[in-house]
C-alpha cells in the first residue's frame, strides 16, 4: 500500500555524526546507519532527528513495532515536524493498522499540508474501503503536486474500483503522459478501457505495458483475452499460453504434446482452472481420440465433476483429482486450455457447436425437475 519511507529531514548544522548516519542510510548501509544513530543517542538522547532516522531504519528492516516506538520518541521531543507524523503513519500502515495510520497522516497535515501526506492518507482510506474519502485526499494531493503521475494513477485506481470508468481513463492517461514508462498505469488504462467496451484501445494499452515489461504474465493473458474477443484467434490462443507460467502442474516426466500425430499414443490431459473452464473445454477430449490417440487420460484438479464427465461420451478415462500422476503410464501430456491452440480453433470449427457433449444423469434430471419445477 504505502511506499518506502524517504528521509527529507535537513542535516543539522554542526552534527557531523548525524551526517554520517544519514549518508549510510542513503547509500543503503542500514546496519551501519543504525549503529551511528545509537552512538549519537548515547551522547544526545533528545536529538529528535536521530530518533526519527532510527525509526525509519527499523521500518525498512521490517521491525515495524520498533519503528513506531522510535518515531513516537521523535514526536515527543519535537511535535512540529510533518515528516515524523507522516512516517509514523506509514509504519502503522505497513503493520496493517489503518485507523492509526489515518490518524497520524491527518496530524502530519495539521502541521503542514503536503502532497505526500495527502496521498498516503488516500492510500489508507482506500485500504479501509473508504473510497470517496480516498478520492478527495488524492484530489487534495494534486493541488500541491499537479504533475505527479503517482497521484493520478492512485486516483485512477479508485475511480476504476468505483466504476467511474471515464474518469479512471482520464487519470491513467494523464499518468502515462507524465511518465511514459509507467507500466502499472498502462495496465490500469487497459482495464478501464476494457470495462467501457473499447477493446481495441484496451489491447493497445496492454501492448504498451508488455513493451515495458515483456515477461508480465497478467498483461499477456489480458492481451490474449482481447485478441479472442476481437476474433483474432491465432494470436489469442498463442498469447493465452502465458497463463501456464502462473499455473502449477503435477510432476510430469513425459514431453508436452506439440500437436503432432498422437497415433498410438496415450495422452494425459489435466484440468488447470475452475469448474467452468473444465466444463467448457472438455469438448476437446473426443478430438484427441478422433485424431488417432490410443488412449486419453483426463485428470481433474477439483472434486465434483467425476460422475458427470464419466457419464458423458468424452472418449477419455476420467481420473479424479487425487490420482497420483506418478502412477500413470502415458506418452505425452498437455494442459486442457492449450487444446484450442493445438486444434487451431476459430468460430467455424469449435467442437460440438451444435451437438451436446455432456450428458446429465436422467434419474437426477427427473429428481430435480420434480423438486424444483
Question: Residue 9: pLDDT above 50?
Answer: no
pTM of the model: 0.85
116's enclosing H/E stretch is helix 115-127
Q: What is the pLDDT of residue 40?
A: 93
pLDDT at residue 14, rounded to an integer: 36
Q: Give the model confidence (pLDDT) of 36-75 as tens digits.
A: 999 999 999 999 999 999 999 999 998 999 999 999 999 9
CA distance 100 to 84: 14
Rounded (to 5) percent helix, strand, coil in the chain: 60, 5, 30
pLDDT higher at 280 or 360: 280
- pLDDT attached to residue 102: 97
Could you tell me which residues are beta bridge partners of residue 296?
Answer: 267
Return d(Cα 184, Cα 175) in angstroms, integer: 10
∠ CA 264-267-269, nearest 5°, is 160
Q: What percent of the chain clears pLDDT 70, i.e. is strictly above it?
A: 96
* pLDDT of 258 strictly over 90: yes
What's the Rg (C-alpha) of the chain? 29
pLDDT digits (tens, 9 = 90+) for 265-290: 999 999 999 999 999 999 999 999 99
Q: What is the pLDDT of residues 186-203, one digit of tens each?
A: 999 999 999 999 999 999
Residue 117 has pLDDT above 90, yes or no: yes
Asked if 335 contacts 244 with a C-beta cutoff of 8 angstroms, the reply is yes
Amino acid at each position: 500500500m504505502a511506499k518506502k519511507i524517504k528521509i527529507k529531514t535537513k542535516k543539522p548544522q554542526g552534527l557531523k555524526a548525524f551526517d554520517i548516519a544519514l549518508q549510510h542510510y542513503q547509500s543503503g548501509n542500514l546496519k551501519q546507519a543504525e549503529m551511528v544513530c545509537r552512538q549519537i543517542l548515547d551522547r544526545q538522547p533528545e536529538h529528535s532527528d536521530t530518533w526519527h532516522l532510527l525509526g525509519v531504519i527499523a521500518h525498512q528492516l521490517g521491525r515495524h513495532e520498533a519503528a513506531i516506538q522510535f518515531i513516537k520518541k521523535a514526536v515527543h521531543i519535537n511535535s512540529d515536524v510533518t515528516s515524523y507524523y507522516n512516517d509514523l503513519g506509514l509504519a502503522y500502515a505497513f503493520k496493517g493498522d489503518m485507523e492509526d495510520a489515518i490518524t497520524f497522516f491527518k496530524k502530519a497535515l495539521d502541521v503542514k499540508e503536503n502532497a505526500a501526506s495527502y496521498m498516503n492518507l488516500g492510500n489508507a482510506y482506500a485500504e479501509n474501503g473508504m473510497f470517496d474519502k480516498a478520492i478527495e485526499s488524492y484530489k487534495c494531493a494534486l493541488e500541491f503536486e499537479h504533475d505527479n503521475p503517482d497521484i493520478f494513477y492512485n486516483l485512477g485506481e479508485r475511480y476504476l474500483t468505483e466504476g467511474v470508468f471515464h474518469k479512471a481513463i482520464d487519470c491513467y492517461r494523464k499518468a502515462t503522459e507524465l511518465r511514459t514508462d509507467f507500466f502499472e498505469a498502462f495496465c490500469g488504462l487497459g482495464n478501464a478501457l476494457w470495462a467501457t467496451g473499447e477493446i481495441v484501445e484496451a489491447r493497445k494499452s496492454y501492448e504498451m505495458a508488455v513493451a515495458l515489461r515483456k515477461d508480465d504474465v497478467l498483461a499477456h493473458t489480458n492481451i490474449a483475452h482481447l485478441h479472442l474477443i476481437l476474433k483474432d484467434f491465432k494470436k489469442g490462443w498463442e498469447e493465452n499460453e502465458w497463463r501456464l507460467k502462473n499455473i502449477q502442474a503435477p510432476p510430469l516426466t513425459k514431453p508436452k504434446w506439440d500437436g503432432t500425430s498422437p497415433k498410438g499414443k496415450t495422452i494425459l490431459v489435466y484440468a488447470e482452472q475452475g469448474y467452468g473452464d473444465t466444463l467448457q473445454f472438455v469438448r476437446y477430449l473426443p478430438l484427441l481420440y478422433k485424431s488417432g490417440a490410443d488412449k486419453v487420460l483426463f485428470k481433474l484438479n477439483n472434486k465434483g465433476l467425476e460422475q458427470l464427465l464419466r457419464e458423458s461420451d468424452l472418449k477419455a478415462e476420467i481420473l479424479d483429482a487425487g490420482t497420483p500422476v506418478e502412477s500413470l503410464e502415458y506418452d505425452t501430456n498437455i494442459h486442457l486450455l492449450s487444446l484450442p491452440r493445438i486444434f487451431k480453433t476459430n468460430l467455424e470449427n469449435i467442437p460440438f457447436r451444435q451437438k451436446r457433449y455432456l450428458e446429465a444423469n436422467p434419474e437426477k434430471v427427473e429428481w430435480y425437475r420434480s423438486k424444483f419445477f
